Amino acid sequence: MSHSAPLIAVPADTRVFDNYEWHAAPSTYLAAIAQASGGVPVIVPALVDEAALDVVLDRVDGVLVTGSASNVHPSRYGVAPTAAHEPFDPARDRLTDALIRKALTRGTPLLAICRGHQELNVALGGSLATEIQEFEGRMDHRAPTHPEQDARFALRHPVSVEPGGRLATIVGDGPVEVNSLHRQAIDRLADGLAVEARAPDGTVEAVSVADAKGFALGLQWHPEYWAASDPASRAIFESFGAACRAFRDRRAAR
């Protein structure tokens, strides 16, 4: 990592450990930013208001929205909450909704992974389906039950990449093997999102923001986990890092 490495904002989850509320992000995303994107990750606590987010976005060169076991509160896409939608993290919902919309307005490069991909769809007006493994014809996209993280994050199904799309410029037109740790998925695709990849059962696995000013990609899988060893995962993080550096250089030249 060089001294001119781009700063990349990572919105925090809120969790309670040892009687304290923590604002935290998993180290796999932070390591992939540092090692494959060549960036410096900065965790943004889910405490900041919209004005403070502008202060953050004035300084950062990219935004990475992580996965999480919690789900977007369904009231954000017009659905009444049930036990099947839990667990929730409303503070994260507020943070990521504002951060995603503001990053897109500014043209700040955005990489949104798993819950982040779902949050991107909801922030732009789309909706989510829950417990998709119970739907006729759908695969079971949930994590395998295994004590080892390498087994839970193992690559286990292909996605077909939209030929000529933005993801294809990064990973190529051929199928890509991905991991899968989710029980929700995009239901109604937000206006303004383009599908970039699908699973064999039709699940939307990747999207881009059609009129984005720069890099703006959502992925239902977890390239961060294998960014050190899987060529497609690494290419996604390298491309994101290059977009962040280009954004920083354009802003500095203004």
Ligand X SMILES: N[C@@H](CCC(=O)NCCCC(=O)O)C(=O)O
Q: Is 69 in the site for ligand X (CB under 6 A)?
A: yes
Determine whether 224 is an active site residue: yes
Q: Is 182 in the site for ligand X (CB under 6 A)?
A: yes
What are the tokens at 80?
A: 């009444």
Determine whether 114 is an active site residue: yes
Q: Is 184 in the site for ligand X (CB under 6 A)?
A: yes
Nearest approach, Cβ of residue 35 and ligand X (Å): 20
Q: Which residue, 8 or 219, is less far from ligand X as judged by CB?
A: 219
What are the tokens at 145?
A: 């039950």
Cα dihedral: 111, 114, 115, 120 (round 10):
40
| Position closest to ligand X via CB | 67
Nearest approach, Cβ of residue 182 and ligand X (Å): 3
Nearest approach, Cβ of residue 194 and ligand X (Å): 21
Q: Find out whether 50 and 98 touch, Cβ atoms under 8 Å.
A: yes
Residue from 14, 28, 37, 68 touching ligand X (CB under 6 A): that is 68
Listed residue (127, 99, 55) closest to 216, CA to CA = 99
Q: Find out whether 68 and 183 touch, Cβ atoms under 8 Å.
A: no
In our burial notation (b when 16+ CB lie closer than 10 A, e otherwise), range 70-93 reads: bbbbbebbeeeeeeebeeebebbb
Determine whether 244 is an active site residue: no
Q: Find out whether 114 and 182 touch, Cβ atoms under 8 Å.
A: yes
Q: Which residue, 139 or 242, is less far from ligand X as judged by CB?
A: 139
Q: Interface with ligand X by CB under 6 A: which residues? A: 67-71, 114-115, 118, 143, 181-184
**Which residues are marked as active site?**
114, 222, 224
